[in-house]
Structure 1
């Protein structure tokens, strides 16, 4: 993408810049408007009246941060005596350049290209008949704004592009050995709780993409998806707070796009990434092969997880005038295996056509053994003490198959067809032993719940420039989605086999969803550096849902989703104003009607009758570069109608128990701001951090003391922040520290108290940076604690969750192979952005 942006920027350059760069006139092969030939072999030197000789100067220009060729870089040869250019040329698409017939003399060479710092090579002495090979010349990258187009190539920790903020996770040495949730904790504007649930500006109504693609694991649960992706695999995280019409309308707060590392090398390579820790260990192997038009990648990352936790639950319910107090304590041991494995192909059919195909497998196997001690009090008198041992299995495996074709007619004009098949199989089972005291078995209970989520997507997109400052985009898309869930409860005494539990009958959910959509988008850039991007998208949804009890009547609905993005370049600052309308469809865990009673006092059940919620967003942001510092300030507001919220009520059949489900009963308003800054104290010492401050107001229906629905509301201010620092030391050593705080989260019936996290790491590069060894520690002062409270006229609940995740890990990575860097092939992909992900049950 960087190379394409550089080429577009070069095309947009004016003739004035060309003449300023080359006083003798534009190079032959150009047109005076900054356009250059694509083949540097046909780009002759300047026609300037200077002496000619028989020497040659040649070299190879690459990007210092990405080690990729800098295509079409401008090369000027300056006579040191006259200080005037005497020759020049343009690098080819491999970064190679040469100038012949150079006369004897003393010169300096100036290499420049948009998006890179100009580099001067001094003291070039040409002797008669002798050639000079300058070898590889590295250009440092910068970011600049040109006619409303941001050309960003700098590999800083944080970058801001026209429509998104980019966190370069590959620069994070502490990420090794963790998962995607560990990376997202450090991304500006994002918060991650202890279960891996992600929120953007205070809401979990977001869409997460993996390499611009959706996945059914994300549709089922964002937390599950993040645990399948090892941190070592992540290259960048993109936060898109105001998506254009080209994106699906899902995600009331925006889109998070996780880009994994891809091969940009030719030849055969193999890399290993590993880590051993007190709470988790990981192992990854990746291989790639590229020759000519064909590229193949094969690899996988796996992570094993072993941890322990404890919870304290205190809740009071009032039913028919009777007060029930429950005091519950539990200890848990978790063992998990998470991984993601992929096989990919890309083939260059011709210079203008390419074909990409990939297949990815994901797995998430989490097993928990939990012991509960529950004391129940009726009207303040101890009525019973129960002992319960539960073995739960939360298993998931997914497959994503993509085939994509793209035809590029000319820069910015292209047509693509993208297809995807995605399937996720989930198992959420538990076995419970009910005990008398600590050992005597009284009875047994078992819940079997299997789920399947399938998606088939076909889309086509067309993009074309209009003149030099306008872009038109149009596309259509079809998604067919099917969710199936089967569940049953079995019961047995202390001996004998299981039989059907009459109090919890078996059931199923068959849920089919058909979405047809189309969009148009128009971008216009003005000479005074305004950029306007406007568009609209229409989506029509049909749902067919059936349970074992009856069919569910959910009417078809259509949504017209407009979006407006305006940006203005103010020198080294950028001002942006955006508005968009978003929708959020319910996810699998929110729809699943299985009665999950692994904890008999805290029960959850989905609602297959849920409808989508609709959100209006507005955002104003200012970003500015000040010397070696970057600052971003964003103000935002949003309102969500028909909001999907968690609603808890006392159980009618289990004294003291609380049942939680989802309902379209609320309205939510959020107003606030984000401030983020990054600075380089020295070229090798960087500090970055940010704060989030916003006010939330929720309004919806809850039950009063008599069991009737009444309107209620809740509001509060949330403050979150993070700070990290990275220091490069001599001899390949490096240090990094991170600390963050996730503030209180306001809910309709209560709140979740904030929690902190921190980590410290050291790394040493070995064998010319082919490998590294490191040591990192996180949360080493007692782990992490999360406290939640719920309140209504019928109950109160306080839950304290302690996770003893003090981790110390030793990491090792190494790369071998014959590497030759080549241009990265362009690809298109499916982006399904329309499903509201559920919350983790862990």
Structure 2
């Protein structure tokens, strides 16, 4: 069980220790019917800051307790109704104010032009995305981005902080429309260091439109940060501590300054912690039984920094600059114990291998962005983004391998190796997006060019008499270059008052080359080139059957390109008896997604999804022909995967003072793989998760 302690620093009201006040009221529509699940926000009159947020119950009632004496105004919002404002609320110490019946008026605005922030319901369903609102809801304080994702519809975060959507892994995380270049523990650290107070909303795009790059089979989660439009400066600091087997903490701060000509903003976060993992392998190969148990501990320290400035060049023009950086220092230590026995005498251990991995891993990333935006305020926009990112990783690892007899008292042999694996990745992109109104709808056009250069060095050393000697047979350099040229169009419009649709098409031309440079001429391999053109259609249909009943149907095609590390064909030794070997001939996975969703009363969300992946990249464990005891890990395009999933999410009011959020995700997976020579594997699995 994890105990979380949240620290928040803020101003302490002068009346904190005085007798508290309260207020209550009932919300009704124009016909006198109770309005349920409306957002009720109490603002301080002095500076219009949010003081308290509540939600109306099944009878339309709301109540706010433990209020300080002072002057306030109240705003209640509900989709389909004009905002209800109650000004000039003055509370005295101990007062119990009853506002009576507050009645909404029908909205007179064009709902097609309304913005998300006009209603601030917790969840909104749009033709191309689900919007999980944070600011102005009960989720706006005392939490972090990772925990908010646990509450978000269709999103699952497991115990290792891996994020999936509708049962599919491989989701891409964006911040303010820009892809976050982090994964694994680095991504988890960043999200835990991003407080809810800085977040406006989270867009869950399970079937991204043609505007977005086609990478990623699980879609996109775009975290939209608050944009303070008030003149002046503000800031916040916070942090948290959590305790599992090991403790971890993080501290964060943010600031913003705005005047009539510019807006400058920044945030910083740092922390450290530790995690552990245990794995067990049982392999039968070449007449030998290998029973292996691995215990790992990962320690880390990290620093995240984000700075930006927007210059307002006129009413319609904005020029922006953004710099972000991440620094991570880690230690990955593992203890590996493997027993070796013959298959004909399985109960008789022949020998025991003890292999300890002692590794340090330092990762640094920095990204630079220049952006220009034109917006005429009437639906015509032009966005130009130029990005450059550089990612460095430097890992050093020591691996003593010691063979003992069955009693583990007599040392038979000893092999000590060490490794150096520096990696550098440079990514450059240029993107242009244009939108304008056309035929009572919205047309989008755009193009993107990206270039990736990855330099990977793998140096293998034999430690002899305490000194490292480079093993040229097991060392190599691997360079990978990838250029992607993309173009798209997208069109969306409202057909009737109840029906709307969106459709688009994206084309991506990929040119890639992988070059292995061995230290021994006889091990040199020719470059591997891949050139392919891919088409990615998408479509969405939404039906507003009634004011509180919305249905949507979406289809999209996606691609998963193999990671750079699984393309390197050389051996990455994990222990004396196991190693990894990449495959430069891997093809990308192609994913087709189909989804049907239903939203009730703007709050209760139900979604059925079907996904089929072809050319799925499959992890294989195969015997090493040169050593009957050893095996290696590689990857092949062998499998097809079908995923069917159900997601149900809903806010639940337990009592007047207690609100909860319920999220159920259930998935059925069918994996089929053809290993050749008639070896067909068909594996099914069912998973579910419940978050409250």
TM-score by length of 1: 0.64
Once the two structures are TM-superposed, the CA of residue 63 in structure 1 deviates from its matched residue by 9.2
How far does the alpha carbon of each residue in 1:730-780 deviate from its partner, in whole angstroms, 9 at most, with x for none? xxxxxxxxxxxxxxxxxxxxxxxxxxxxxxxxxxxxxxxxxxxxxxxxxxx
Write the distance in 2 (CA, Å) between the matches of 1:421 and 1:461: 18
Confirm or deny: 8 A CA contact 1:163 1:240 kept in the other structure.
yes
Aligned residue in 2 for 1:557:
532
Write the distance in 2 (CA, Å) between the matches of 1:310 and 1:667: 29
Aligned residue in 2 for 1:508:
477
Aligned residue in 1 for 2:258:
290
How far does the alpha carbon of each residue in 1:144-167 deviate from its partner, in whole angstroms, 9 at most, with x for none? 996666743344554434422234
Once the two structures are TM-superposed, the CA of residue 463 in structure 1 deviates from its matched residue by 0.7
SS at match of 1:556: strand
Structure 1 spans left out of the alignment, 5+ residues: 1-20, 22-58, 68-108, 125-137, 703-707, 725-842
Write the distance in 2 (CA, Å) between the matches of 1:723 and 1:140: 33
Write the distance in 1 (CA, Å) between the matches of 2:77 and 2:659: 26
Write the distance in 2 (CA, Å) between the matches of 1:466 and 1:644: 41
Write the distance in 2 (CA, Å) between the matches of 1:382 and 1:141: 80
How far does the alpha carbon of each residue in 1:598-645 deviate from its partner, in whole angstroms, 9 at most, with x for none? 34455333323222121221111111117xxx2111112122111122
Superposed CA RMSD: 3.6
Once the two structures are TM-superposed, the CA of residue 489 in structure 1 deviates from its matched residue by 0.7
How far does the alpha carbon of each residue in 1:180-222 deviate from its partner, in whole angstroms, 9 at most, with x for none? 655534433233344443322232233222321124x34xx45
Aligned residue in 1 for 2:460:
489
**Does residue 716 of the first structure (1) align with residue 684 of the second (2)?**
yes
**Does residue 232 of the first structure (1) align with residue 198 of the second (2)?**
no
SS at match of 2:529: coil
Aligned residue in 2 for 1:774:
none
638, 642, 662: which is aligned to 1:665? 638
541, 544, 548: which is aligned to 2:513? 544
Aligned residue in 2 for 1:184:
149
Write the distance in 2 (CA, Å) between the matches of 1:366 and 1:263: 36
Q: Cα distance 1:595–1:190, how it changes in 2: closer, same or farther (>3 A)?
A: farther
How far does the alpha carbon of each residue in 1:108-137 deviate from its partner, in whole angstroms, 9 at most, with x for none? x9999987654255999xxxxxxxxxxxxx
**Does residue 449 of the first structure (1) align with residue 421 of the second (2)?**
yes
Aligned residue in 2 for 1:86:
none
Aligned residue in 1 for 2:673:
700
SS at match of 2:632: strand
Aligned residue in 2 for 1:26:
none
Aligned residue in 2 for 1:635:
608
TM-score by length of 2: 0.77
Q: Cα distance 1:573–1:369, how it changes in 2: closer, same or farther (>3 A)?
A: same
Confirm or deny: 8 A CA contact 2:480 2:564 kept in the other structure.
no
Confirm or deny: 8 A CA contact 1:149 1:162 kept in the other structure.
no
Once the two structures are TM-superposed, the CA of residue 535 in structure 1 deviates from its matched residue by 1.1
Once the two structures are TM-superposed, the CA of residue 421 in structure 1 deviates from its matched residue by 0.6
Write the distance in 2 (CA, Å) between the matches of 1:479 and 1:680: 48
Aligned length: 593
Aligned residue in 2 for 1:347:
311
418, 426, 431: which is aligned to 1:459? 431
SS at match of 2:188: helix
Q: Cα distance 1:174–1:606, how it changes in 2: closer, same or farther (>3 A)?
A: farther
Aligned residue in 1 for 2:3:
none
Aligned residue in 2 for 1:578:
554
Aligned residue in 1 for 2:587:
611
Once the two structures are TM-superposed, the CA of residue 142 in structure 1 deviates from its matched residue by 12
Write the distance in 2 (CA, Å) between the matches of 1:329 and 1:415: 53
Confirm or deny: 8 A CA contact 1:175 1:183 kept in the other structure.
no
Matches within 5 A, 1:252-263: 252-260=217-225, 263=228
668, 680, 683: which is aligned to 2:653? 680
Q: Cα distance 1:148–1:156, how it changes in 2: closer, same or farther (>3 A)?
A: closer
SS at match of 1:596: strand
Q: Cα distance 1:62–1:228, how it changes in 2: closer, same or farther (>3 A)?
A: closer
205, 226, 229: which is aligned to 2:170? 205
SS at match of 1:554: strand
Matches within 5 A, 1:254-273: 254-260=219-225, 263-273=228-238
SS at match of 1:358: strand
SS at match of 2:466: coil
**Does residue 623 of the first structure (1) align with residue 599 of the second (2)?**
yes
Q: Cα distance 1:346–1:624, how it changes in 2: closer, same or farther (>3 A)?
A: same
**Does residue 410 of the first structure (1) align with residue 377 of the second (2)?**
yes
Q: Cα distance 1:203–1:118, how it changes in 2: closer, same or farther (>3 A)?
A: closer
Write the distance in 2 (CA, Å) between the matches of 1:175 and 1:588: 38
Write the distance in 2 (CA, Å) between the matches of 1:349 and 1:144: 33
Aligned residue in 1 for 2:323:
359
248, 255, 261: which is aligned to 1:280? 248
502, 523, 530: which is aligned to 2:499? 530
Q: Which moved more, 1:380-389 or 1:162-171?
A: 162-171
Aligned residue in 2 for 1:106:
none
Q: Cα distance 1:425–1:466, how it changes in 2: closer, same or farther (>3 A)?
A: same
Write the distance in 2 (CA, Å) between the matches of 1:525 and 1:443: 69
Confirm or deny: 8 A CA contact 1:619 1:634 kept in the other structure.
yes
Write the distance in 2 (CA, Å) between the matches of 1:122 and 1:233: 30
Q: Cα distance 1:347–1:123, how it changes in 2: closer, same or farther (>3 A)?
A: closer
Matches within 5 A, 1:83-122: 117-119=82-84, 121=86
Once the two structures are TM-superposed, the CA of residue 709 in structure 1 deviates from its matched residue by 4.7
SS at match of 1:237: strand
SS at match of 2:573: coil
Once the two structures are TM-superposed, the CA of residue 140 in structure 1 deviates from its matched residue by 11
Confirm or deny: 8 A CA contact 2:252 2:270 kept in the other structure.
yes
Confirm or deny: 8 A CA contact 1:143 1:152 kept in the other structure.
no
SS at match of 2:352: strand
Confirm or deny: 8 A CA contact 1:144 1:152 kept in the other structure.
no
Structure 2 spans left out of the alignment, 5+ residues: 1-29, 31-44, 54-73, 90-101, 518-523
Confirm or deny: 8 A CA contact 1:366 1:393 kept in the other structure.
yes
Once the two structures are TM-superposed, the CA of residue 312 in structure 1 deviates from its matched residue by 5.1
Aligned residue in 1 for 2:57:
none
Matches within 5 A, 1:71-150: 117-119=82-84, 121=86
SS at match of 1:598: strand
511, 516, 519: which is aligned to 2:488? 519
Aligned residue in 2 for 1:373:
337
Q: Cα distance 1:552–1:207, how it changes in 2: closer, same or farther (>3 A)?
A: farther
Q: Cα distance 1:175–1:193, how it changes in 2: closer, same or farther (>3 A)?
A: farther
SS at match of 1:402: strand
Confirm or deny: 8 A CA contact 2:156 2:665 kept in the other structure.
no
Write the distance in 2 (CA, Å) between the matches of 1:144 and 1:602: 68
Write the distance in 1 (CA, Å) between the matches of 2:88 and 2:188: 53
Aligned residue in 1 for 2:662:
689
Confirm or deny: 8 A CA contact 1:693 1:717 kept in the other structure.
no
Write the distance in 2 (CA, Å) between the matches of 1:327 and 1:497: 29
SS at match of 1:534: strand
Write the distance in 1 (CA, Å) between the matches of 2:580 and 2:421: 13
User: Which protein shows a greater Rg?
Assistant: 1
